[in-house]
Structure formats: structure tokens, C-alpha cells
């Protein structure tokens, strides 16, 4: 209550103005959820409600629960990856998709274990996999092995995205005081290699080249045996 004084009269108690509740929307919820994941590596409805200055029940009015929020965040990643031009050879298209895929998740590495822990149902992301599946089938890969190759690509790409969150010095062998290093060859290799983002990017491109070359070799071997 606040006191209001009218000239020539005694103070009158009046109700304090109510705080306006923040209006929720799906986009506001997802922005807050992604920020929470980025900052803490967690996503709980209680913490999300606190961040939004709202209640969990208000969030449920827009999105039915944590799984739905995660799938909506997956959709954001799919939108960031985008569609691949359909007229490209399978290897060119796949390399482009993998680079975009890595970049999208490298910005939000804490999201990776959460999304890998639940089944993909988002239409945007499924459409992206459908497009890559079509590329691989046109390239000559068997229908019974496409999902296996998609799993290989997923593992490589998500691991590469996580690598961008690694410290600049991934390996730091230390020698005993006054003694020789127990890992002299590794020490020399670490000194010869780039550090930080440069190392992660070089490792990614090396791995992508090896992956695509291995897939081509697999196709060639299948053709020779077929």
C-alpha cells in the first residue's frame, strides 16, 4: 500500500501498482532456454521459469515440457544448418552439410549431450537428414547402410563441434622436477602443432577429408565386388 495525500485531507492508503508480468512467447522461452543451457549446461523447468520471471505452468501453456523445448531448440539448429543445394555431387553436398552442422553446434556445445539423449522428431531436422539420405542414395550407397553412414557423420561432426570448446592446450605433459619428460615424442608433436581454434579447424578439415575419402573408397570397393 502507498499513502496518497489529498490537499486538505488526511493521507489515504491506496494499493501499490502491480508489477506487470513478462509476456511469454515461444521465442522468448527458447531464447531463455538456450541462454540457460549455454551458461549452466542444464535445463530445468524451475530454473527456466525463474529466468523468465514466470512460472512453469505458464511455460507449459506454450510448450508442453522439457522435451518439447529441446526439440524446438533442435529446430533452431536445423534452421541454422539450412538446406543443401540439390544439384551437387554427394561428396560436395555432404561436406557442405557437415561444415554447417559443426558451426551450428559449435556455438552451443552444451546442447549436444541433451539433444543426443532424445529421439529426433523435429520436422526441420528430419527434412535435413532426408536430403542427405537422398544424396547418399544417388551417390550409390546402399539403402541398408545409409543410416550407418549418417551415424558416422553425426559422431564426427558433433565431436568436432565439442572440440571447439576445448582449451587452447589440450595436452600438457609435465616432467618430474629436474627429470626428463616421460612423453618426449608427444611433447615434440604438441609443440609442432597449432593451438586453439587453429588446431581444431585443421583437425576438422583433415578428418572431413579422410571421412569423405573413406566413403568414396567404400563405394569403389562395393562396385568392384558387385
Ordered by start, the domain boundaries in the chain are 21-64, 83-225
In angstroms, rounded to a whole number, what is the distance separating the alpha carbons of residues 38 and 32?
A: 10
Query: Phi and psi dihedrals of 64, rounded to 5?
Result: -70, -5
Give the CATH superfamily of 83-225: Tetracycline Repressor, domain 2 (1.10.357.10)
Sign of CA dihedral 51, 56, 57, 63: positive
Q: Out of 3.20.20, 1.10.287, 3.40.1000, 1.10.10, select the CATH number for domain 21-64.
A: 1.10.10
For 93-116, b where at least 16 C-beta lie within 10 A, e where not — what string?
bbbebbbbbbebbbebbbbbebbe
Give 13-44 pLDDT, tens digit per residue.
655 555 455 679 999 999 999 999 999 999 99
Are 11 and 3 in contact by the 8 Å Cβ rule? The answer is: yes
Average pLDDT for 172-195: 85
The predicted pLDDT at position 19 comes to: 47
The predicted pLDDT at position 84 comes to: 93
Give 129-183 pLDDT, tens digit per residue.
999 999 999 999 999 999 999 999 999 999 999 999 999 999 887 767 767 888 8
The predicted pLDDT at position 86 comes to: 84
The predicted pLDDT at position 225 comes to: 84
Amino acid at each position: 500500500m502507498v499513502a496518497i495525500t489529498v490537499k486538505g485531507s488526511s493521507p489515504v492508503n491506496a494499493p501499490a501498482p502491480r508489477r506487470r508480468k513478462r509476456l511469454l512467447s515461444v521465442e522468448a522461452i527458447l531464447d531463455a532456454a538456450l541462454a540457460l543451457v549455454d551458461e549452466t549446461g542444464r535445463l530445468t523447468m524451475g530454473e527456466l521459469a525463474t529466468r523468465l520471471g514466470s512460472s512453469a505452468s505458464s511455460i507449459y501453456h506454450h510448450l508442453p515440457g522439457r522435451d518439447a523445448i529441446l526439440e524446438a531448440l533442435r529446430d533452431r539448429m536445423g534452421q541454422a544448418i539450412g538446406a543443401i543445394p540439390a544439384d551437387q555431387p554427394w561428396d560436395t553436398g555432404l561436406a557442405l552439410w557437415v561444415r554447417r552442422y559443426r558451426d551450428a553446434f559449435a556455438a552451443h556445445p552444451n546442447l549436444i549431450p541433451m539433444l543426443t539423449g532424445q529421439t529426433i522428431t523435429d520436422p526441420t531436422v528430419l527434412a535435413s537428414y532426408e536430403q542427405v539420405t537422398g544424396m547418399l542414395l544417388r551417390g550409390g550407397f546402399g539403402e541398408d547402410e545409409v543410416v550407418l553412414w549418417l551415424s558416422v557423420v553425426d559422431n564426427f561432426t558433433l565431436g568436432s563441434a565439442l572440440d571447439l570448446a576445448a582449451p587452447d592446450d589440450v595436452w600438457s605433459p609435465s616432467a618430474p622436477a629436474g627429470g626428463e619428460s616421460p612423453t618426449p615424442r608427444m611433447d615434440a608433436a604438441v609443440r609442432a602443432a597449432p593451438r586453439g581454434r587453429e588446431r581444431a579447424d585443421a583437425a576438422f578439415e583433415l578428418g572431413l577429408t579422410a571421412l569423405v575419402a573413406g566413403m568414396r573408397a567404400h563405394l569403389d570397393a562395393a562396385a568392384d565386388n558387385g
